[in-house]
């Protein structure tokens, strides 16, 4: 009240006087002590700071608009808080910082509540979210207000420059200003916005996110963090710069970015991200999983992209689209996984990208060659087999000479969860192998690729009456036409395979492809042919194609 009356002495009017010259948003103590609106009641007890629930909290200093009006009338005081000042707060606060020089710091480390701290001049920050039942205006009159839950207001005068910030253990949001900022985050999951020229950011513990405004920042350290799951960890966001952004992760030095697990370019704008094995290694992230079943954990970087807009360009180093071995906590649906192995970068290094995102090799001349599959048609993806099929006796089933597998494009190539009956089944498919031994292929095992195709008599199960079998003799050309509705030469990478010599596939095996009812789980239990996408069985081989 005293500050309000001093304002009158200095010539300031109420915000609701003189025909409501102030805007509705300005008609509050958050921006001026001359308003009748803006008191708040404390929600929780703060005994160490002398506040208890339902106590009234009033503005403690002239606010942003008050300082501007006094400076307009009388000029500014150039030496107010001129040195290096640390503004350390605790408990309920309601104030505005006015500072004319030095390297200054806002210290909120004593708080364990979620806070939003904006370092830009003229801004208002809020310590906590539901700590204050605050009067908020809905009109220009002194009586036109409602109550809303709010944090404790902290204003920064328009020309005040705060260089540094320290936050507490809540999940905080910090917005940088145009000065060179040093941001030190606490234990929570924090977001740091508008990181720019010369800024230094320490993430601390938790899953912290860092939003890049310009590429000439000095350091981003994601911090120790905690165990990450689902590829979630400290993230680097290249959002909203402009359509057609080219983000070259290779240009950052080893000491510029560290302790980062995730990269985000999924802002709805077409972007190009350039990476290399060294650039990913320099991130020094903490997301390590055994991706290939060899007992050794490898670093995995997750890249979140707009699959239909963005492109990832990688150095020509030997990256391969690869199916990891699913151990339950290392592979996630909706991603393509790329592996670089056999180099001095040990252990192996992986990156995961949203399925369908274009990935290309970047050569020395600046040209690109696509290495991601083209999903514009019903092609098949050839992926390196990291999950070989074995029979019940643990004897490996041999794939082709290159240990490749054939994965339909309309399946997720690593989790097989596209929604078709094969993917949806939780059962195990048993197929006829020989008189004594059965081979098993489960829903996460790899499909097999056989090197050559021949004329073959196949069996198409009836799609309506599941217990009726129909033997169909098709020529090679008819088979190809049925499966993919276009001519395919044997030189194509897509090979629909048959058996060259059926006598070599087990003693006593008849030269017939009839599917016996005891060769696999019943159709009713498996539900395979209740879908438009049918499957053709041939002993241990499964072919899938859209026949419906």
Q: Are residues 484 and 338 in the same domain?
A: no
Number of domains in the chain: 2
pLDDT digit string (tens) for the chain, length 548 residues: 899 999 999 999 998 887 666 788 899 999 999 999 999 999 999 999 999 999 999 999 999 999 999 999 999 988 888 899 999 999 999 999 999 999 999 999 999 999 999 999 999 999 999 999 999 999 888 888 999 999 999 999 999 999 999 999 999 999 999 999 999 999 999 999 999 999 999 998 889 999 999 999 999 999 876 444 444 688 999 987 666 789 999 999 878 999 999 999 999 889 999 999 999 989 988 888 888 888 888 889 999 999 999 999 999 888 999 988 888 778 888 999 999 986 665 678 999 999 999 999 987 777 788 888 776 554 444 444 444 444 334 433 334 444 443 333 333 433 334 443 333 333 333 232 333 333 333 333 333 332 233 333 444 444 444 444 445 556 656 655 555 554 444 444 344 444 333 344 444 433 333 333 333 333 333 333 333 333 343 333 444 444 43
Residues 527 and 394 in one domain: yes
| Residues 454 and 531 both lie in one domain | yes
In-domain check, residue 142 = no
Residue 424 in any domain: the answer is: yes
- The rounded Cα 32 to chain-centroid distance in angstroms is 41
Structural domain that includes position 437: 380-546
Nearest to 438 by CA among 399, 390, 508: 390
| The domain boundary residue, chosen from 348, 372, 396 | 372
Q: Judge if 415 and 351 occupy the same domain.
A: no
Looking at the structure, tell me whether residues 384 and 258 fall in a common domain: no
Instruction: Let me know: does 167 contact 115? Beta carbons within 8 Å.
Output: yes
Q: Are residues 401 and 335 in the same domain?
A: no
Is 403 inside any structural domain?
yes
Indicate whether 348 belongs to any domain. Answer: yes
In 3D space, the residue among 363, 318, 361 whose CA is nearest the CA of residue 343 turns out to be 318
497-521 b/e with 16+ CB inside 10 Å = b? Answer: bbbeebeebbeeeeeebebeeeebe
- Rg (C-alpha) for the chain, rounded Å, is 33
My answer on whether 457 and 344 are in the same domain is no
- 501 shares its domain with 445: yes
Residue closest to 281 by CA, chosen among 344, 236, 345, 354 = 345
Strands 182-184 and 164-166: parallel
Concatenating the DSSP letter of every residue in 248-271 gives EGGGS-TTTEES--EEE--SSS-E
Considering 354, 372, 390, which residue would you say is the last residue of a domain?
Answer: 372
C-alpha dihedral (340, 342, 347, 353), degrees to nearest 10: 10
Rounded to whole angstroms, what are the CA distances from 227 to 232, 233, 319, 325, 351? 9, 8, 27, 21, 18
Q: Does one domain contain both 395 and 526?
A: yes
Q: Phi and psi (nearest 5°) for 467? A: -95, 5
Distance in Å from the first CA to the final CA of the chain = 79
| 213: in domain | no
Nearest residue to 23 (alpha-carbon basis) of 123, 140, 137: 140
Tell me if 441 is assigned to some domain.
yes
Cis amide linkage into residue 347, ω under 30° from 0: yes
Whole-Å CA distances, 517 to 209, 468, 500: 56, 10, 25
Take residue 188 and report the two structure tokens written for it. 């929570």
CA 42 – CA 54 distance, rounded (Å): 5
SS3 (DSSP) at 474: strand
What angle (nearest 5°) sits at the alpha carbon of residue 220, between those of residues 230 and 276?
65
230 within domain boundaries: no
Length of the chain equals 548
Q: 411 and 283 in one domain?
A: no
Closest CA to 460 of 472, 448, 451: 472
* 57-78 exposure pattern, b = at least 16 Cβ within 10 A, e = fewer: bebeebbbbbbbbbeeeeeeee
Question: How many CB atoms are closer than 10 A to CB 159?
Answer: 14
Question: Domain boundary residue among 372, 393, 422?
Answer: 372
261, 283 in Cβ contact below 8 A?
A: yes
Distance CA 313, CA 361 (A): 6
Match 């979620």 to its residue by tokens.
114
In a domain, 63, yes or no: no
The CA distance from 149 to 136, in Å, is 10
Residue 427 shares a structural domain with residue 453: yes
User: Residues 490, 509: one domain?
Assistant: yes
């Amino acid at each position: 009240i005293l500050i309000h009356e001093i304002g009158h002495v200095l010539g300031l009017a109420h915000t609701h006087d003189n025909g409501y010259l102030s805007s509705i948003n300005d008609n509050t103590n958050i921006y001026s002590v001359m308003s009748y609106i803006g008191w708040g009641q404390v929600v929780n007890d703060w005994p160490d700071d002398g506040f208890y629930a339902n106590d009234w909290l009033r503005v403690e200093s002239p606010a942003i608009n008050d300082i501007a009006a006094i400076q307009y009338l009388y000029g500014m005081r150039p030496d107010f808080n001129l040195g290096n000042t640390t503004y350390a707060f605790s408990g309920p606060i309601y104030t505005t910082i006015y500072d004319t020089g030095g390297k200054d710091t806002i210290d909120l480390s004593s708080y364990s509540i979620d806070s939003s701290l904006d370092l830009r001049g003229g801004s208002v920050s809020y310590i906590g979210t539901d700590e204050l039942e605050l009067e908020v205006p809905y009109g220009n009159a002194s009586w036109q207000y409602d109550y809303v839950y709010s944090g404790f207001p902290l204003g920064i005068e328009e020309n005040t420059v705060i260089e540094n910030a320290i936050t507490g253990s809540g999940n905080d949001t910090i917005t940088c200003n145009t000065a060179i900022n040093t941001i030190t985050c606490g234990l929570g999951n924090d977001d740091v916005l508008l990181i720019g020229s010369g800024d230094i950011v320490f993430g601390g513990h938790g899953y912290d996110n860092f939003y890049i405004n310009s590429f000439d920042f000095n350091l981003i350290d994601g911090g120790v963090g905690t165990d990450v799951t689902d590829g979630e960890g400290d993230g680097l966001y290249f959002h909203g710069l402009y359509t057609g952004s080219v983000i070259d992760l290779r240009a950052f030095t080893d000491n510029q970015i560290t302790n980062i697990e995730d990269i985000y370019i999924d802002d709805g704008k077409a972007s190009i991200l350039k990476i290399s094995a060294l650039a990913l290694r320099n991130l020094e992230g903490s997301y390590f999983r055994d991706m290939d079943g060899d007992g050794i954990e490898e670093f995995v970087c997750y890249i979140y992209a707009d699959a239909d807009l963005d492109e990832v360009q990688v150095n020509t180093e030997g990256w391969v689209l690869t199916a990891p071995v699913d151990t339950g906590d290392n592979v996630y649906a909706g991603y393509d996984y790329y592996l670089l192995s056999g180099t001095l970068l040990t252990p192996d290094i992986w990156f995961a990208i949203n399925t369908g995102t274009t990935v290309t090799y970047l050569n020395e001349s600046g040209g690109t060659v696509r290495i991601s599959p083209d999903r514009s048609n019903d092609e098949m993806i050839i992926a390196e087999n990291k999950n070989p099929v074995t029979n019940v006796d643990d004897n490996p089933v041999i794939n082709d000479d290159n240990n490749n597998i054939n994965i339909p494009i309309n399946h997720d190539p690593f989790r097989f969860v596209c929604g078709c009956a094969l993917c949806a089944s939780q059962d195990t498919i048993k197929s006829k192998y020989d008189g004594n031994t059965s081979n098993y292929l489960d829903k996460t095992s790899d499909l097999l690729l056989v090197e050559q195709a021949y004329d073959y008599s196949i069996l198409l199960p009836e799609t309506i009456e599941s217990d009726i079998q129909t033997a169909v003799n098709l020529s090679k050309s008819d088979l190809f036409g049925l499966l993919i509705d276009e001519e395919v030469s044997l030189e194509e990478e897509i090979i629909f395979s048959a058996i060259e010599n059926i006598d070599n596939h087990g003693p006593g095996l008849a030269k017939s492809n009839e599917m016996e009812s005891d060769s696999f789980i019943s159709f009713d239990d498996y539900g395979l042919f209740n879908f438009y996408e049918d499957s053709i069985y041939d002993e241990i081989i499964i072919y899938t194609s859209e026949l419906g």
